[in-house]
Amino acid sequence: MDSKAMDIQIRDMSVELSGLHLDNPVIPASGTFGFGAEFAEFYDLDILGSFSFKGTTKEARFGNPTPRIAECRNGMINAVGLQNPGIDAVIADELPRISRIFHKPVIANISGFSVDEYAYCCERIDKQEQVGIIEVNISCPNVKHGGMSFGMVPESAYEVTRAVKAVTTKPVYMKLSPNVTDIVAIARACEEGGADGLTLINTMLGMRIDVKTRRSVIANTMGGFSGAAIFPVALRMVYQVAKACRIPIMGCGGVATARDVIEMMMAGATAVQVGAENLRNPYACKEIIETLPAEMEKLGIRSLKDIIGVA
């Protein structure tokens, strides 16, 4: 082996996330990776740092009517509607299946439509040995307050965080919506509520119109806009929150390459989630992990831990 190849090999890609050791910072984002089974047919999932499984609610959900997907330049819009088998089925069926294809701690993404539902699901998933981190999606509509999402105002974000932390022992990361005026205020509320970390950003709100039918392409009219086009927005929000809060961040939004991962970490992310790119290219995370050492070598980075928040 030549000296250059050896130098690339000794690049340290590992990170620590609330006491959880990750071999690398690359994590497929919830909603783009299912429960892992489909992607296990393409490559060994154990190369991943971890993965965040499909958003789970108390009851099974069929999701929104179709069509649910609309293509965009440099992105996509989806309105799947949290389709999932429910917390009981995830614990009984999906986690055992995950244990056969992924041999590291997994991230459990939890959604809810009331504070009680969030607490119920988080308390149940907290007891599962395979779960290393609980990721709480507060972009869901609060059914008791007119449908406004829990992540829209600091008070609601704080309330959910406190309720979940009261019934869990594992690290809790609150996943924040970008569809707010002040992302820092929401992040600080979660930190004050006891969150161990944050994931940002979730999808933005978007829409496409079929000019022939003069109707929205999405049956739900609007949906979550994701993909490469939102990367600069996600990067900006990660940077702002990293400067304002002391807890770690999983950066997410438009990440598609190893260089994107490095840029997101320089903005302040400790780990980086890959979302829509998995749907475009099922090998995306594998390719990012494989090319990270070479990118680090080009940029003179010996350890990824050294670049977190350097911007």
Chain-centroid distance of CA 127 in Å reads 21
122 is catalytic: no
Active-site residue identified among 121, 122, 140, 190: 140
Closest by CA position to 76, among listed 285, 277, 292: 277
> CA-CA distances (angstroms) from residue 308 to 21, 62, 212, 276, 294?
15, 39, 48, 23, 18
Pair of tokens at residue 157: 């974000």
Cα end-to-end distance, the chain, whole Å: 34
Sorted by sequence, the CB contacts under 8 Å of residue 210 that are 6+ apart come out as 216, 217
Query: Pairing state of beta strands 69-72 and 223-226?
Result: unpaired
Contact criterion met (CB below 8 Å) for 118 and 136: yes
For the CA atoms of 218, 223, 229, 235, the dihedral, rounded to the nearest 10 degrees, stands at -170
Residues recognised as catalytic: 140
